[in-house]
Copies of this chain bind each other. A is one copy, B any other.
């Protein structure tokens, strides 16, 4: 397939809306769009934001090239004047958002896009594709890392997702704490550490398992990971240690009752003097299975399908909604759909994580400057009254939104490859701030409430 521009990763209706707005004279009205999700999947305590760096790349590169315009012309869906406008299109507005790796909760405005209608409406599809995909994986992966309780996890799910999605999946997994990936393209493009073992095909290629092990050890050294479940696990472990010596790096189990098997393999390795040889488990693992395996003597996990398909919740449901726009009067007005089940809170919002001491206490999402001002007024009054709840003095607010694109230019160092290590650090810090214990298990109510009313926010600790 030819290279695809990010501009064509777009739904047709964005272009026809642009055309209709241009003809009606409203295309240059200033608009504020926000990206948020209305709820978390049942049982999920938080979401993990990933993909922001990739979104910035996509916006910076968002251009209709000649092939795109030829297609649009041939398809006959747009007028010549619209095509000429698209040929000159580039995003010139502003984007603010949560740092990549940050946690999100219902209604957290993880991205805010400001610009004219015709400038900002076109970004909807590509922004949502990236954030929904990457954050779905990050949100599942973060739970798995907690459940792994420090045991290193390798992302190895590339074969279960779209081939390019696999690269983004490895990136998202690394951001939430995976140690490495099996995917070479993620290593090349995002500098994610790569790791690998061997497949059953390798053992089966040789006339005997012993020949296969000899070949692997001779080529890869004794620090390699040997797959021991092609024939009989016990004989394979004995054989591998015989051939490699007690310095054998690791053995991998990929089938059977991992819990029972790992104990026997650990005892066997120890009895053979291979006390330093690690045991890695793979095969349909997820956070629930990892919980069950926490007392089993395993040293690391390879995690694939359940991670890269979002652990049962493949898309977080991020939407891209117009929340504020210029009216005929030249003033900005909050707007929102009024349908009962999908109502949208109007106005651009300011977002803070309220902390008490070291821990997150609430997500403040305050619509409009008046709400923010009211909250700050009440907070200050409370703090200076002398009679405040002692908790108030330990209260702090962490602003969650930062400038990502200013006047069409991506803020330095925020594009996707440079962003990965910073996002990984951000995620680790935000999870720690949340203060959940792994012993609570993966599921539960949402960890902190989202407060969307300034007075209510101020009363939180009142």
Interface string of A83-107 (1 = CB under 8 A from B): 0000000000000000000000000
B182 pairs with A12, CB closer than 8 A: yes
A219 contacts B125, C-beta separation under 8 Å:
no
Question: What distance in Å separates the Cβ of A255 from its nearest Cβ neighbour in chain B?
Answer: 4
Chain B residues in 8 Å Cβ range of A425: none
> Is there contact, CB below 8 Å, between B185 and A17?
no
Q: Is B322 a contact of A205 with CB atoms below 8 Å?
A: yes
A58 at the interface (CB under 8 A from B): yes
Please tell me which one of the listed residues B163, B197, B216, B305 contacts residue A126 in the complex, with CB atoms under 8 A apart. B163
The minimal Cβ–Cβ distance linking A317 to chain B, given in whole angstroms, is 8
Contact B163 A6 (CB under 8 A): yes
Q: Are B71 and A188 in contact (CB-based, < 8 A)?
A: yes
Residues of B within 8 A of A20 (CB): 198, 202, 215-216, 218-220
In the assembled complex, the Cα of A21 lies from the Cα of B218 at a distance in Å of: 10
Residue in contact with A12 in the complex, picked from B9, B72, B77, B195, CB distance below 8 Å:
B195
Query: How many residues on A have C-beta within 8 angstroms of the other chain's C-beta atoms?
Result: 112
Complex Cα–Cα for A31 and B321 (A): 53
Fill in one digit per residue for A216-257: 1 if any B CB lies within 8 Å of its CB, else 0: 101110000000011110000000000000000000001110
Cβ of A176 under 8 Å from chain B: no
A187 engages B75 (CB within 8 Å): yes
Residue of B12, B26, B117, B314 near A309 (CB, 8 A) is: B314
Of A271-279, A331-339, A372-380, which stretch is located at the interface?
A331-339
Cross-chain contact A202 with B21 (CB below 8 angstroms): yes
- Against B, the Cβ 8 Å flags (1 = close, 0 = not) of A287-300 are 00000000000000
**Digit string of A13-43 for contact with B (CB within 8 Å is 1, else 0)?**
1111101110110100101010000000000
CA distance A305 to B6 in the complex (A): 21
Is A396 part of the binding interface, using a Cβ–Cβ cutoff of 8 Å?
no
**Given A1-B189, A24-B218; A198-B322 close (CB under 8 Å):** no
- Minimum distance in angstroms from A50 CB to a CB of chain B: 12
Nearest residue, chain B, Cβ from A195? B12
| Chain A positions 319 through 346: 1 when the CB is less than 8 Å from some CB of chain B, otherwise 0 | 0111001011000000111111110100
A324 to chain B, nearest CB (A): 10
Give the docked Cα–Cα distance between A31 and B204 (Å). Answer: 10
Q: A195 contacts which chain B residues (CB < 8 A)? A: 12
Asked whether A145 is an interface residue with its Cβ less than 8 Å from the other chain, the reply is no
Determine whether A263 belongs to the interface, using a CB cutoff of 8 Å to chain B.
Answer: no
Contact A132 B117 (CB under 8 A): no
Contact with B along A116-160 (1 / 0, CB 8 A): 010001001110111011000000000000000000000010111
> Do residues A325 and B21 form an inter-chain contact, with CB atoms below 8 A?
no
Could you list which residues of chain A lie within 8 angstroms of chain B, going by C-beta atoms? 1-4, 6, 8-17, 19-21, 23-24, 26, 29, 31, 33, 54, 57-58, 67-68, 71-72, 75, 77, 117, 121, 124-126, 128-130, 132-133, 156, 158-168, 182-185, 187-189, 194-202, 204-207, 211, 214-216, 218-220, 229-232, 254-256, 305, 309-310, 314-315, 317, 320-322, 325, 327-328, 335-342, 344, 416-417
New A-B pairs, 14, CB < 8 Å, besides A23-B219, A68-B188, A132-B161: A4-B167, A10-B183, A10-B185, A12-B187, A13-B199, A20-B202, A29-B205, A31-B205, A58-B163, A68-B184, A162-B164, A165-B165, A230-B339, A255-B341
Give 21 pairs: A residue, B residue, CB < 8 Å, sorted on A.
Answer: A1-B416, A11-B182, A12-B187, A13-B182, A14-B199, A16-B196, A16-B220, A17-B202, A20-B216, A29-B205, A31-B201, A77-B194, A132-B160, A161-B314, A162-B162, A207-B327, A229-B339, A230-B339, A256-B341, A305-B315, A309-B315
Pairs A-B, 9 closest by C-beta atoms: A13-B196, A24-B215, A12-B196, A162-B165, A20-B219, A128-B159, A201-B322, A71-B188, A129-B163
